[in-house]
Each structure stands twice: as structure tokens, then as C-alpha cells.
Amino acid sequence: MTDSDDDQSTGKRWRLVPMTALTGVLAVIGVVVLLSGCQARSASPGPGPYRVTGTVPARGPFGVAVDSGTHTVYVANYGDNTVSVIDASTRTVTATVLVGKTTSGVENPIAVAVDPGSHAVYVTDYSNTVSVIDGTPRTVTATVPVGTFPWGVAVDPGTHTVYVTNHFNNTVSVIDASTRTVTATVPVGRDPDGVAVDPGTHTVYVTNNADNTVLLIDASSRTVTATVPVGKNPYAVAVDPGTHTVYVTNNADNTVSVIDASTRTVTATVRVGKGPDGVAVDPGTHTVYVTNNADNTVSVISASTRTVTATVPVGKSPDGVAVDTGTHTVYVTANTVSVIESR
């Protein structure tokens, strides 16, 4: 069970999780489409072609990532200092991995990312570290110190480089996966949260929650090369590598900003449900999935029309979302892990 307090001045929702000294779970927002200055009507709520086909029990799930090569799902449980390993074929938890700096207490793992080439898993948590899990023995093989309150994590599969946003340091830690050390620290905007990588251009995208911007980092120079204004309190970010399009959930606007990476400008604003939180892209279908924390739904956006084509009810207070690109199956963390498939 969790309690919530809303900060109306910032648009953030802070969740208080029992037995933890510090928890700041930022919620998100809403839904509508603005094209060429005109508002387009989104699809009416309903299951549409998508539906929840199963749920998997978890213990305070938040972040989620999928290894599409092995069809394995990794869920960061901020409620009990663990990562659940789910076999996608059986939809059962096959392993539970203890993470965090200590072996007791609650370190609150937050975000999780997978390197598809090495099958290594990276988990951020409140102990100001990143835990590295070997996907084969499913054990923590390294713990990398980063900045204060690490939040988002993303992997560039081409260079095996890991990027971590440090919320209270206003920085991004760059981790070399081969040495498992921080090789650079990049200053960014205020309250960085979400991070994503375009593997084709090796460009890193970071949301700055307090600045209402998205920063672009050049991976080779490790410098900020552009700043893109978006909606209020941007939170999560995802990239469609096929079209080099970037999607950002705006915490206090109930919208998703669509950024053209070539022009580095917002080309559309799509209204979604209440409290959009996580975002993920299926590059095979160019479909975008957004969790709406305040109304317990997932908005499905067509990248071609930039409209909401379906609204899928899920569990309570959904946060993370990830796609298995091989099966086009979607995994959403709420009070359980919901499995969404198209009909």
C-alpha cells in the first residue's frame, strides 16, 4: 500500500513507500492531439484492438525492461529491494534478485534497462548506485556508484554504454559497461528524470522535470548539443530508432510531446490520459504506449496519425512500460505487472 501527496506547484506526485526514508516517485499526465495548430479528437476510451491478457504478481513494481532476445522481463520492485525476472512464455517469476548497496533494508530500485547484446541488466536505486545483473546466472556482478538519487537508465547497444540521470545532482553519469566504471559526468538541467538513446545516431535524450526541457547529448563528445522546450514537468522519454522520433510524457500537461530528431523541434502534442508517466515505443509497428498514473490506463498512440487509437484499463497507478519487440507484447507495472496484447 502507498500513500500519495500532490505538489500542485510543480505537478509532481510524491509517493511515500513504507520503511523508506526517501521516496520521490514523480507521476504524470494527460491526452489530446495538436496537429498544425489544430486540436484533433482522440479515440474514445475502450479496449479497442488491445487488451490485458494476463497479470503477474510483483512486490511494489516500478521500472520494467524486456530482453527481446530471450523474451525475459525484468521488473524493479521499489517495495522490497529486488528485481523480479519473468519468463514471458509462462508469465511466471522465475527468479528474484536482491539489489542495492546493502543486503538489508529497502534501497528502492527504480529504473531498469537491458543491454540486448550482452544481456546485462542495469538497475538504479536510492543507495546512489547502479546494480549490474548478469542475465544468465541472474546475480548481481557489480555495483557502480553514481550521483545522488539516480533515476532513469538507458543503454546504447552499439557502444555498450550506460546513461543514468542523477535527479538531485542535475547530472548524467556515463558508465562503460566493459569496465563498469563511470567515465564521464555530464551536467544537464534541473531534476533530470527520463533518459533514452537513439542507437542509430548515438544521441542521448534527457528530460529535465523542473526546466520543462529535453536535452540532447552527443555520445562522442559527451556534451549537450541542443535544448528542446516541451510541456510542463516532462518525465519519461522514448525513441523510435526507425524514424528517429522522440516521445516525451509531460507530467503536468496530460500530454506527450513528439520531437523530430532531425530538426530538434516539437512537431506534435498528443493529449493522453491523466498523469502520463512511462512511455515505450514498438519500433516494428511504430506504436507508442503511455502509462497514465492517475486514471489507471495505458494510451496507445499511432505514430503515423499521432492520435490515441486505444485506451487500455490496467492495474492501480501504472508507472513503467516496456515492449518485447519480438512478440509485440507490452508489459506495464502497476500493483501487478499487466500483459497487453493486440487482438
Question: Per-residue pLDDT tens for 170-228?
Answer: 999 999 999 999 999 999 999 999 999 999 999 999 999 999 999 999 999 999 999 99
Domains present along the chain, CATH in parentheses: 3-342 (2.130.10.10)
Give me the pLDDT at residue 136, please. 85
CB 288 within 8 A of CB 33: no
First to last CA, the chain: 33
Query: What span, in angstroms and rounded, lies between the C-alpha atoms of 43 and 40?
Result: 10
pTM greater than the 0.95 cutoff: no
Output b/e per residue, 289-307; b: 16+ Cβ within 10 A. Answer: bbbbbbbbbbbbbbbeebb
Query: What span, in angstroms and rounded, lies between the C-alpha atoms of 116 and 157?
Result: 7
User: Is 4's pLDDT higher than 60?
Assistant: no
Q: Is 108 strand, coil or helix?
A: coil
Give me the pLDDT at residue 312, please. 97
Query: What span, in angstroms and rounded, lies between the C-alpha atoms of 281 and 285?
Result: 9
Percent of the chain surpassing pLDDT 70: 84
CB 82 within 8 A of CB 59: yes
- Nearest C-alpha neighbor of 6 from the set 25, 31, 21, 30: 25
Place of cell 498514473: 293
202: how many CB neighbours lie within 10 A of its CB? 15
Residue 331 — φ and ψ, nearest 5°? -120, 130
Give me the pLDDT at residue 8, please. 32
CB 263 within 8 A of CB 220: no
The model's pLDDT over 264-282, given as tens digits with 9 standing for 90+, comes to 999 999 999 999 999 999 9
Beta-carbon contacts of residue 200 (< 8 Å; ≥ 6 apart)? 241, 244
Percent of the chain surpassing pLDDT 90: 79
The model's pLDDT over 123-153, given as tens digits with 9 standing for 90+, comes to 999 889 999 999 888 999 999 999 999 999 9
Give me the pLDDT at residue 301, please. 98
Element (DSSP H or E) covering residue 299: strand 297-302
Q: If you ran DSSP here, which 8-state letter would residue 32 be given?
A: -
Q: Give the model's confidence band at 46: pLDDT under 50 very low, under 70 low, under 90 confident, else very high.
A: very low
Place of cell 515505443: 281
Give me the pLDDT at residue 32, please. 27
Amino acid making up residue 322: A
Query: What span, in angstroms and rounded, lies between the C-alpha atoms of 165 and 171?
Result: 6
Place of cell 530500485: 109
